[in-house]
Amino acid sequence: MSKDAIYTFAEISKGFDITEKLKLVLFTAGIKPNTYVILKINPEDLGEKYRFEQLLKENKIPFIASRQKGYEEITKVIKNEIRWEFKGIWIGYDLFKDEKSKKDFLRYKRLFAKKQFKKAALVAGKLYGYPTCCINKDLKEIPEYIKKHYTSYEYYKKIHDAERKYPFLFHQICSKECKATAKLNRLYSSTIKKFTPKLWKQYIKTDSFKSEIIVDKESDVLLKGKTIWPERDGHEYEVILRHPHNKKYYLYAYLTKHTYKRGTILKAEIKQKHNYADITVKKTIGILSHIMHERKMPLISRKY
Ligand SMILES: [Zn+2]
């Protein structure tokens, strides 16, 4: 067994984003029973795939690797054009504590393929160690339910609040007061601090800076192809940095009661922490008309 080698790998790897690193550490420590992590492979770090799979084999960790897929990043923002370029490939790894879990996972995939979402979610919830109260609430939150119980602002506020209160978690929580969630968040944080203190520090650090952001698309919940909120009291926009920070054009989810047109440029103060950013808008600078934002590949997004 060389768990320490996995912790070291998690700390120094270039191909794992920070949230992927956290999941890998929690899984290795036996705190998260199973998980899913995404490894990006860039031309400079071709060896990481080989090293990672070797570590999994040495530790007798059953896993399933996805097909290799390409991913893009924003490389330039010129006038009204947001340019995405091919950066490398990524592989998703489903990691299991034992062969039984791997079987349960394959059962989950079959249920999902057969559109038996309720059964699938129950199996998945158990696999990833989510509290039962949260799994049940998540199952209830279909578009009809959301439409009845939340305004647009309330709905996204709930998600933003949960991310800020429980930054180490990866599931939809049932309520801000969920005791099982609070306990899990403490356990996850202390585990990461114990085994990978550098990673923990990096994750809790706040990076404050001023920048200009461009308002892009707005989040929505659809029912039969139509929005459930024809009237809105708030908006969750995807915003993009107009100039790079740490050489990157970050994308953030920005929740506001104001309405902005797509392409609006805002001057903002940004506090980036954990895997979100708190954004305070100072003023509107202008608007980019006919914003061109061609993403050829979908964003990589799957939690667990
Ligand atoms: Zn709960």
Q: Is 204 exposed, middle or buried (0-12, 13-18, 19+ CB in 10 A)?
A: middle
Domain that holds residue 212: 206-293
Q: Kindly give the distance from the C-alpha atom of residue 284 to the centroid of ligand 1, in angstroms, as a whole number.
A: 39
Separation of CA 184 and ligand 1 centre (Å): 10
| Cα–Cα separations (whole angstroms), residue 218 to 5, 252, 269, 286 | 42, 11, 20, 18
The structural domain count of the chain equals: 1
How far is ligand 1, taken at its centre, from the CA of residue 177, in Å? 8
> In this structure, is residue 185 part of a structural domain?
no
In a domain, 304, yes or no: no
Is residue 90 within 8 Å of 71, Cβ to Cβ?
yes
Please list the pLDDT of the chain residue by residue as tens digits (304 residues): 589 999 999 999 999 999 999 999 999 999 999 999 999 998 888 899 999 999 999 999 999 999 999 988 898 888 888 888 888 899 999 999 999 999 999 999 999 999 998 999 999 999 999 999 999 999 999 999 999 999 999 999 999 999 999 999 989 999 999 999 999 999 999 999 999 999 999 999 999 999 999 999 999 999 999 999 999 999 999 999 999 999 999 999 999 999 999 999 999 999 999 989 999 999 999 998 888 877 766 666 556 6
How far is ligand 1, taken at its centre, from the CA of residue 138, in Å?
9
* Ligand 1 center to 67 CA (angstroms): 34
Residues, CB within 5 angstroms of ligand 1 (ion): 131, 133-134, 174, 178
Instruction: Using the mean position of ligand 1's atoms as its centre, give its distance from the Cα of residue 147 in Å.
Output: 21
pLDDT tens digits, 76-94: 888 888 888 888 899 999 9
Which residue(s) pair with 111 in the sheet?
A: none
Tell how far the Cα of 166 is from the centroid of ligand 1, in angstroms.
12
User: Rounded to the nearest whole angstrom, what is the distance from the C-alpha of residue 89 to the centroid of ligand 1?
Assistant: 36
d(CA 82, CA 168): 31
The three-point CA angle 51-103-11 to 5° equals: 25
Residue 233 resides in a domain: yes
Distance separating alpha carbons of residues 224 and 124, to the nearest angstrom:
26
What's this model's pTM, rounded to 2 decimal places? 0.92
Query: Considering the domain boundaries, does residue 248 fall inside one?
Result: yes
Question: pLDDT tens digits, residue range 175-231?
Answer: 999 999 999 999 999 999 999 999 999 999 999 999 999 999 999 999 999 999 999
Bridge partners, 40 (sequence order): 90
CA distance 289 to 215: 11
In a domain, 284, yes or no: yes
Q: Does residue 299 sit in helix, strand or coil?
A: coil
Q: Is residue 165 part of a domain?
A: no
User: 176 C-alpha to center of ligand 1: Å?
Assistant: 8
Task: Evaluate whether residue 93 is within a structural domain.
Answer: no
- Strand, helix or coil for residue 24: helix
Percent of the chain with pLDDT over 90: 84
Q: Which amino acid belongs to residue 193?
A: K
